[in-house]
């Protein structure tokens, strides 16, 4: 991002009373909580969405991947938008557009329209966390920043905790549509509250955006995401569409790199990658993003279609991550800044443990065990974030904070979007391969099938028996595909651990 793209900075304004400050804090936290809830509320209703939209697992995952991708692409624009329209207008406008898109998500009658409004929802919500945090720090005195950031962080974590639970309950009591409808009036009230509570802010006329670099990077990321999302259905490079998307994506990325290295004030300053902590931090945060939302996207399908859990219970299972994340959030605030490298290693090790645990589940695994696993995942996510942020920016010049922070969050979201697509692709591919392999062994000449305790109520002599046998093979083949996806999750977690050794511990002053 161009170096002159900055948020407004201000000392606490004397014309804002203490009571009004807390009203503003409440409105900001409500807005950010709604945003974090919207990302995860879909996770609990994915199985019902898949049936309602007559979609395949890879198609329905687009409701998550393209929402996250839209958030990723809009996040670097936050500084430019804040300078152009002012913080209050941007915050209130973003919540208003978010409210409208949330309503139309609930009213969507086709998968295409749902994906479109989820993209709008993600783009509208992208400025809320950075602007909300900036507003919060500006209106409160410095000695209250620790307390305020704690309250702000709890609101964000509560969204991750409450979103899946609310979505699951609403989907079971009514339909998946009410998971979105419930958020609509709250978002409208939040937008009005932000407009009334926040003081008017000035616009910064000298804020500029390097549009060429932004558009080239956006085109490249969008093409790669489309190729990953549609590749399995279109047979990858046997499809003209996939070939075109990969070619355009690669060309756009090459032009972006060449433009960034030759422009005076590029959208992203690639020379900052020479800083070792920052470069390794970007790799680690990309892996962190890969691991963040993927289990929440693929687990509901396993729990609903194969384990047989109701929507409300799926919501509690997915939302259990919030319990671990909230506990880790408070612990990491103290331990993570003092021992960042050790905390990051512990966090990724917990991810490995959670992944290995998931690789042992079967169709008889109890919901309680899935909840415990979710808590471990939440502990891992919360333990990593604070120390990873500390070491990534500890050795950088503060004047690059806005630019480097944008790249940091951009890669986190891109990692989530890409890895979800890869995991769902593995689910679809592996399920079909496993089913084909297992059916090859169904024959009258297989002596194992003559054993009564092997076949049970299943039989190859009747239509009903064949139907039961086919259904059982489908469940087992699907379970194996989920175990393969969990294997990818575990492998990505393990790959991050050796990289931590190359991170230099920041000095206490820098931390």
For position 122, what pLDDT does the model report?
Answer: 92
pLDDT exceeding 90 applies to what percent of the chain?
A: 30
Q: Which of 422, 396, 400, 390 is nearest to 488 (CA)?
A: 422
Residue 507: per-residue pLDDT: 59
pLDDT by residue (tens digit) across 212-269?
988 998 899 889 888 888 888 888 888 899 999 999 999 999 999 999 888 888 888 8
Do 12 and 139 form a contact (C-beta atoms < 8 A)? Answer: yes
Comparing 151 with 67, the larger pLDDT belongs to 67
Q: Which superfamily does 1-204 belong to?
A: MFS general substrate transporter like domains (1.20.1250.20)
Q: Which CATH number describes the domain made up of 272-511?
A: 1.20.1250.20
Mean pLDDT of all residues in 4-25: 63
Least confident window among 81-95, 104-118, 358-372, 399-413: 399-413
DSSP 86-115: -HHHHHHHHHHHHHHHHHHHHH--SHHHHH
DSSP string, 14-47: TTS-HHHHHHHHHHHHHHHHHHHHHHHHHHHHHH
Q: Is the pLDDT of residue 176 over 50?
A: yes
pLDDT, tens only, 427-476? 989 998 999 998 888 777 777 777 766 666 666 777 787 788 888 889 99
CA gap 298, 408 in Å, rounded: 25
**Tell me: the pLDDT tens digits for 32-50?**
888 888 877 787 788 888 8
User: Tens digits of per-residue pLDDT, 92-134?
Assistant: 999 999 999 999 999 999 999 999 999 999 999 988 888 887 7
Q: Please name which of 407, 411, 396, 418 lies closest in space to residue 77, comparing C-alpha atoms.
A: 407
Whether 188 contacts 29, CB under 8 Å: no
**Mean pLDDT lowest among 131-135, 303-307, 357-361:** 131-135
For residue 122, which of 386, 379, 401, 409 has the smallest C-alpha distance?
409
Q: Which is more confidently placed, 408 or 15?
A: 408
CA pair distance 116, 123, nearest whole angstrom: 11
The sign of the dihedral angle between the CA atoms of 130, 132, 135, 136 is negative
């Amino acid at each position: 991002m161009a170096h002159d793209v900055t948020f407004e900075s201000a000392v606490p304004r004397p014309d804002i009373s203490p009571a009004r400050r807390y009203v503003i804090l409440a409105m900001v936290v409500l807005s950010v909580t709604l945003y974090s809830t919207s990302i995860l509320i879909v996770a609990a209703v994915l199985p019902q969405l898949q049936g309602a939209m007559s979609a395949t697992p890879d198609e329905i995952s687009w409701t998550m991947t393209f929402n996250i991708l839209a958030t990723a692409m809009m996040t670097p624009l936050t500084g430019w938008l804040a300078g152009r329209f002012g913080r209050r207008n941007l915050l209130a406008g973003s919540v208003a557009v978010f409210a409208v898109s949330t309503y139309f998500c609930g009213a969507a009658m086709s998968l295409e329209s749902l994906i479109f409004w989820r993209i709008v929802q993600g783009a509208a919500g992208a400025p809320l966390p950075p602007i909300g945090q900036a507003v919060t720090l500006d209106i409160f005195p410095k000695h209250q920043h620790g307390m305020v950031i704690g309250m702000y962080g709890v609101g964000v974590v509560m969204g991750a905790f409450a979103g899946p639970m609310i979505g699951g309950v609403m989907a079971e009591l009514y339909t998946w549509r009410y998971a979105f409808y419930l958020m609509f009036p709250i978002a409208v009230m939040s937008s009005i509250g932000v407009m009334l509570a926040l003081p008017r802010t000035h616009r910064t006329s000298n804020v500029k955006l390097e549009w060429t670099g932004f558009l080239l990077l956006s085109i490249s990321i969008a093409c790669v995401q489309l190729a990953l999302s549609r590749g399995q259905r279109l047979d990858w490079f046997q499809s003209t569409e996939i070939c075109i998307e990969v070619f355009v994506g690669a060309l756009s990325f090459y032009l972006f790199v060449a433009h960034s290295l030759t422009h005076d004030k590029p959208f992203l300053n690639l020379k900052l990658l020479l800083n070792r902590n920052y470069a390794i931090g970007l790799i680690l945060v990309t892996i962190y993003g890969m691991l963040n939302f993927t289990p929440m996207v693929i687990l509901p399908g396993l729990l609903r279609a194969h384990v047989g859990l109701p929507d409300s219970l799926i919501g509690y299972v997915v939302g259990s991550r919030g319990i671990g994340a909230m506990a880790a959030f408070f612990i990491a605030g103290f331990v993570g800044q003092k021992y960042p490298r050790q905390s990051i290693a512990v966090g990724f090790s917990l991810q490995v443990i959670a992944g290995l645990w998931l690789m042992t589940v079967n169709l008889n695994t109890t919901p309680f065990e899935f909840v415990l696993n979710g808590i471990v995942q939440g502990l891992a996510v919360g333990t990593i974030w604070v120390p990873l942020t500390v070491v990534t920016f500890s050795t950088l010049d503060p004047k690059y904070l806005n630019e480097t922070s944008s790249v940091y969050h951009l890669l986190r979201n891109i990692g989530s979007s890409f890895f979800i697509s890869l995991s769902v692709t593995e689910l679809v591919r592996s399920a079909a391969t496993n089913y084909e392999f297992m059916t090859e062994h169904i024959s009258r000449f297989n002596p194992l099938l003559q054993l009564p305790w092997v076949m049970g109520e299943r039989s190859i002599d009747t239509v009903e028996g064949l139907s039961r046998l086919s259904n059982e093979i489908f469940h087992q083949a699907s379970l194996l595909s989920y175990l393969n996806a969990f294997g990818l999750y575990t492998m990505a977690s393990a790959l991050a651990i050796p990289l931590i050794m190359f991170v230099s511990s920041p000095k206490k002053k820098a931390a």
